[in-house]
Structure 1
Amino acid sequence: MARKPAKDAPKIGPKIRRLRREHSLSQAALAEKLEVSASYLNLIEHNRRKLTVPLLLKLSELFAVPVDQLAEEEESRLYSDVMEALADPIFEEFDVRNTDVRDLVEVSPESARALLHVCDAYHTTLTDARSLAASAADDPDGRGSLGGLIGGLGASAQSAADVVSDMVQANSNYFGDLEDEADRVRREIGTVGGTVRSLDALSEYLHQAHEVRVNFVEPRDGGKGDLPMIRRFHPQQRLLEVSQRLTGASRSFQLAYQIALLSAGSVIDMLLMEKGLKDGQARALGRVALANYFAAALLLPYDEFLRSARESRYDIELLQHRWRAGFEQICHRLTTLNRPENRGIPLHMLRVDLAGNISKRFTLSGLPIPRHGGACSRWNIYSAFLNPNQIQAQVSKLPDGTAYFCIARTVVKGGIGFGAQRNVLSIGLGCDVRYAREMVYADGLETGNPDRFAEIGVACRICERMDCTQRAFPPVHLRYKIEENIRGPSPYTAPGWPHHHERPGGTR
């Protein structure tokens, strides 16, 4: 089933124009390379002619940009993020419309990203200020943690997380240099007769290649000044301590992570420098993110893992068994299979906690994932909490008609044993409904019948579904009224409900 274009999504013409200018090409010069007339290219750049598949492939090769990045997904994500940002109550007095946002993203994407940067900083400062106020109330004399909060105001890890998330998204969660480094280290491990799926082989490699000893130890009790320990590296003693309460898969991953820092640290630093993450918390968090990427690439070799994913039709539990890895680790690795010449299904992935906070977000499927706060409560990533450890499948559609196939399941993070600290999270993984049949979980579902799709939104404040019984907030882009004598699906009723709803001054 072909995916419908979002009705308010930006078109590809302005991006072609930007790429042409970035490569210092005139319209005539690019038209000659594409073997079309300059007038025809001009119409394409102004969205007055559709771009054919052969031309799209030529442009992808000419500008060295993957087809899925050259197409509308990147602009659509930016558009969705800006719409979400403008849904904040601080913008209520401004009549900013959908068309305004679309024009901003098309004409000046850097300005749109600058707006997002300001909004991210606002959310970070707001969160810090609330924490500061709470601490002041608990500590009126200004002692204790208050000074530390003041010192850290505006420099929290939230903004760093946004920067790193944007970097991963901009690279389609694929880093070829780290894949190559992982292949090199895997060959080195093989020369000593080991396999990366063996704790002994990983430990031996750390010892032989880096003179690092590995001890599996009982985690510290988390007393005063002592945080619970999962992994701790002592550079001077060349000693790596890993909690023995972790599962075998988690212990292997922690060893692979340390190998990443020691064997591929220079490559990681180079990539961060190229992406503009040169210092501060963003760089530190970026090192962690790329070391995690390397660890997954080391333990789950690209070609072999992708082949087994296709053979099993993305049966995650079967892949867990074959590769001796955790559910989240398998899902995350599936989102990185974006090598241009050998791609997996373009997926999205998100992780939420019981409070609805999104702690991990990435999308190649086209599904807009909120940047701050929670997503639509109709998403199965939330209902998964009602059926722990069971995979929930859902075929759903957004108000603009785009449809997605998604699975979700809870996972428990933490150690093994009585008294171990644990955290319950939900992992969501999905794709455009066109790819649903490539996943075993779609068997038996009506993926070709839009009338049976679950109706979802992105987030309440920017959702058009006025008849939603789970609406928590009023929409910022639609007219609504609160009628004391009529109770509709929610307190926020569209004018003329149930017959129709109106938009303020046209579409926003």
Structure 2
Amino acid sequence: MSVQKLYAGAKLRETRTHLGLTQKAFAEKLSISLPYLNQMENNHRPISSAVILALVQEFGFDVSELAIGDGERMVTDLREALADPLFKDAAPALLDLRLVATNAPAVGRAFLALHRAYMQTNERFASLDEALGSGEVRPGASPWEEVRDFFHYCDNYIDAVDRAAERFVADRPTDRAIEDTLADLGITLRLTTEDTAIRQFDPTTKTLTLQASAARSTRRFQALHQIALLTKADLLDATLDLARFQSEQARDIAKIGLANYFAGAALMPYAHFLNHAKSTRHDLEKLAHHFGASLEQVSHRLSTLQRPGAKGVPVFFVRVDQAGTITKRHSATRLQFARYGGACPLWNVHSAFETPGQFIRQLAETPDGVRYLCLAREVTHGGGAWRAPVRRYAIGLGCEISHATEFVYSDGLDTSDATTFEAIGISCRICPRANCHQRSLPPLERTLQIDHNSRRTLPYEVLD
């Protein structure tokens, strides 16, 4: 990795704070002067190779964290928020956004939180008459985005919870760990065919009831989720305390997310899963069979392999419903997803609904020139009975093209031919492509030209 002109002051400052060291003590351990450290932390000077080497030797620092952090995610989020018509005449240049993401990430997050509150307020005002008529007005910002951002900016990896799950199954198979733990807790496991919840725990009778019609992977996952709530409550609460959510509802939602995280990590323990992913070249079906998990669970787990010093291939993972709404998302790559509106219609994840049960491959290129191997597949969650509701989603998984050979799905694809890569974007509002035939909205950062005497695919022309 190139270390020239590497400005990562925020990450350096975050590392020092995490270690509980003053600037003076940190400078001494790195064998540099206090003014030099101060200049690097404020991005007045790049981080030198000698400092990077000292970070590795002294603290076991993962060098890749200096190059891949919150910066690109924040720049993408800021660009999309600033594409709001509210900022049409005052949107900062891309260089300014990069400076904010690098030098003042806390300011960037505060702006995003403020814009999110503004959007939510606008939505509430738009439906105020109807809400007042039905008596369903509920003030306060939605906690869902707050929780989503928590996992988003944690790189979708929660170290303490992940390691606890790995220890939970360290010396025994996952099923044995579930059985032993439930027995130790005096809990009876019951399967039901009644039309009830997928998982129901009665603390009075100590009975855990799971839906018999649910897939085995789902039952195992739900059992582990309940075990996390019962045996890892202190760990989950400590993690939630550090997150400092703004509302109890957000905290409650995040606790579900952390229990789910524990369940996925126990179902697919980190080191074993990482090694098997490499040996199978990330064959999702082989991984699902080996770990007794679903394709969605396996795909999601691949997106969490961000342990310092033992990272997996950086991938993006997304789940989309039939309306095009993104219901799950994470990216350890430079590809970031739209926070508002749907995903690019040219992305293959939308085509997955047309070919259920099949993997769809796509070589794609984003407007910044980065190329990706994209994989999509439709997944169905059956209702377990005649006329029971069926939920359909499409999952998307992919990596930058430099890692494509590590995936079995790249076999037979010509990644050297530029013409095989399809042009995709993030969101129409911030996509700069001038000639996209699927554009639904004009780019707010570009000038439009309207010709009343001419009509092409779009009713306007996007100017440079």
TM-score by length of structure 2 reads 0.89
Q: What does residue range 98-497 of structure 1 map to in structure 2 within 5 Å?
A: 98-136=94-132, 142=133, 146-147=134-135, 149-150=136-137, 152-155=138-141, 159-186=142-169, 190=172, 195-197=173-175, 202-203=178-179, 205-206=181-182, 208-220=183-195, 229-277=197-245, 279-494=247-462
Cα distance in 1, alignment partners of residues 413 and 356 from structure 2 = 21
| Partner AA of 1:12 in structure 2 | Y
Which one is further off, 262-271 or 161-170?
A: 161-170
Corresponding position: 1:25 with 2:23: yes
Cα distance in 2, alignment partners of residues 488 and 39 from structure 1 = 58
1:12 alignment partner in structure 2: 7
- Identity over aligned pairs, percent: 34
- Residue 258 to residue 279, structure 1, CA distance change in 2 (3 Å): same
C-alpha displacement of 1:462: 0.5
User: For the Cα contact (< 8 Å) 1:460–1:473, is it kept in 2?
Assistant: yes
Cα distance in 1, alignment partners of residues 40 and 192 from structure 2 = 66
- Residue 121 to residue 326, structure 1, CA distance change in 2 (3 Å): same
Which structure would you say has the larger RCO, counting Cα contacts within 8 Å and 6 or more residues apart? 1
Cα distance in 2, alignment partners of residues 269 and 485 from structure 1 = 64
Cα RMSD after superposing both structures: 3.1
User: For the Cα contact (< 8 Å) 1:185–1:298, is it kept in 2?
Assistant: yes
User: For the Cα contact (< 8 Å) 2:8–2:66, is it kept in 1?
Assistant: no
User: For the Cα contact (< 8 Å) 2:336–2:426, is it kept in 1?
Assistant: yes
Which one is further off, 74-83 or 298-307?
A: 298-307
* Alignment size in residue pairs: 460
Deviation string, structure 1 residues 284-335 (Cα, Å, up to 9, x no partner): 1111111011111111122222111111100001111222211100111111
- Residue 112 to residue 278, structure 1, CA distance change in 2 (3 Å): closer
Q: Which runs of 5+ in 2 are unaligned?
A: none
Q: What does residue range 79-94 of structure 1 map to in structure 2 within 5 Å?
A: 79-94=75-90
Q: What does residue range 50-65 of structure 1 map to in structure 2 within 5 Å?
A: 55-59=51-55
- Residue 364 to residue 40, structure 1, CA distance change in 2 (3 Å): same
User: For the Cα contact (< 8 Å) 1:60–1:70, is it kept in 2?
Assistant: no
Q: Which SS does the other structure have where 2:449 is aligned?
A: coil
User: For the Cα contact (< 8 Å) 1:347–1:430, is it kept in 2?
Assistant: yes
Deviation string, structure 1 residues 421-469 (Cα, Å, up to 9, x no partner): 2111111111121111100001111223334321111110101101100
Q: Which runs of 5+ in 1 are unaligned?
A: 137-141, 221-227, 495-500, 503-508
Q: Which SS does the other structure have where 1:368 is aligned?
A: coil
User: For the Cα contact (< 8 Å) 2:382–2:389, is it kept in 1?
Assistant: yes
Cα distance in 1, alignment partners of residues 29 and 228 from structure 2 = 46
1:225 alignment partner in structure 2: none
C-alpha displacement of 1:88: 1.9
- Residue 100 to residue 489, structure 1, CA distance change in 2 (3 Å): farther
TM-score by length of structure 1 reads 0.82
User: For the Cα contact (< 8 Å) 2:379–2:394, is it kept in 1?
Assistant: yes
Deviation string, structure 1 residues 448-500 (Cα, Å, up to 9, x no partner): 33343211111101011011001100111111122222233422302xxxxxx
Cα distance in 1, alignment partners of residues 374 and 48 from structure 2 = 30
